[in-house]
Amino acid sequence: MPSESEPQMLYTAPQQDKEGSETLEGSNFAKDSNLSSHPHEFPEGGLAAWMTTFGAFLIQLCGFGYTTSFGVYQDFYTQHYLTNETSSAISWIGSLNTFLVTAVGLISGSLYDRGYFYHLVIAGSLLQSFSLFMLSLSKPDQYYQIFLAQGVGLGIASGLVYVPSIAVVSHYFRRRRTLAMTFVASGSSLGAVIHPIMLNNLLNGRLGFGNGVRASAGFVSVLLLIACLCMRTRLDPPMTPANYIVAAKKCIRDTGFYYPLFFIQLDSIKHGLSVTFSFYSLVILNVSNCVARVTSGFIAAFTGVPNLIIVATISGGVLILGMIGLSSLASVVVLGVMYGYFAGLCKWFFSTGIWKLDRWAPVPFFASNSNSLTGTPISGALLTSNYTWWIPAVFSGVS
């Protein structure tokens, strides 16, 4: 057992009982009561464990995966739907959404510790579905409608489900937790591939904005329903919930990370590349991001996590500076693939490695995303209506 001076880890205990492990290994939803009777054992598998992990995967696909697809909306709003607004003002919608995912996560993490898992995931899923359907009713050049539905509503909804859906996986895995977390984290990357393809074809196709967003909302709602049906808790809440908000005051922040995610599609179009190819520029970046999250664990085993993160963050900053020279199809592909991969390595650390901290995991994750609130709006303001691309690239790359 850890000493009183050490931070208590969530739901861990060193004792292992062979007979209990064998009982839990063959667990399923009909035997959840058996799982609960052995709170100090980790099944490390079984139907209940992997169904819960799959549910968390779907939550990430619909939550953070949708949030990081905002580059499609940034392009569409700038050119067609919010033409009276600046790029900076439009960026506030996506940046607030991103910020609220992790900011609300500090609150939902605390509520999760108090035993409100099912309340959070059900309420968050319903709010996400409601917010997307309300977004579909937004009218052109009605900025406040889109800001409230997508920036505020969708951000709060994703924040309610984000931390609980990942934390519940730790009920079932200890030795194989990195494997399970890597699978869950890949959900956001896969979502960031699926949603841009769907949204670009829906918004710019025959359906238009309203019906296109409603089709997207229906797809997300079905996946969230499946996720809620899959996930199950196994352990009782801890005796002393962690105070995430106090701990978060000591954390550092990141500014330039989301610039390529928000602006690469618009950047491609404004540099005269074909609209069809530009629609897939964000997809290229996110596919590479997904590959990085899957392979990063194997690379870290040889390089060590600190060395991997140092190389990834420095390389990411250099590649953002490289967006100054973005002007051709080849440059978009190269920058998209390389930045997507190094960004994926960074996010792997926060999505899998940092979650080994269990109860304290929301704190550094919040710190890593908190400056997304101001980073992209500043980049949008530096871009100006004249689309001076080198200024926001320098700002974001140096940051």
The answer on pLDDT for 13 being more than 50 is no
Which tens digits make up the pLDDT trace of 196-211?
A: 999 998 998 788 899 9
Categorise residue 237: left if φ over 0, alpha if ψ from -120 to 50, beta otherwise: beta
DSSP per-residue letters across 299-331: HHHHH-HHHHHHHHHHHHHHHHHHGGG--SHHH
Q: How confident is the model at residue 374 (pLDDT cuts 50, 70, 90)?
A: low
Look at 8-12, 52-56, 225-229, 386-390 and tell me which has the smallest mean pLDDT. 8-12
Please compute the mean of the pLDDT values over residues 337-349 and round it to a whole number.
80
What CATH number should be reported for the domain whose range is 44-398?
A: 1.20.1250.20
Give pLDDT, residue 8. Answer: 38
User: Higher model confidence: residue 13 or residue 260?
Assistant: 260
Average pLDDT score over the chain: 78
**Percent with pLDDT over 90 in the chain:** 24
pTM above 0.85, yes or no: no
**Least confident segment among 105-109, 337-341, 373-377:** 373-377
Model confidence pLDDT, tens digit, residues 234-289? 877 766 655 555 545 444 445 677 778 777 888 888 877 877 787 788 888 888 88
Res. 162: pLDDT tops 70: yes
Name the nearest CA neighbour of 105 among 294, 313, 355: 355
Give the least confident one: 64-78, 264-278, 351-365: 351-365
Residue 28, classed as helix, strand or coil, is coil
**pLDDT given at position 310:** 86
pLDDT of residue 5: 40
* Predicted confidence (pLDDT) at residue 129 exceeds the cutoff of 50: yes
Q: Please give the angle made by the CA atoms of 258, 262 and 265, to the nearest 5 degrees.
A: 135
pLDDT of 64 above 60: yes
Report pLDDT for 372: 61
The distance between the two most distant Cα atoms of the chain, rounded to a whole number of Å, is 69
| The pLDDT of residue 150 is above 90 | yes
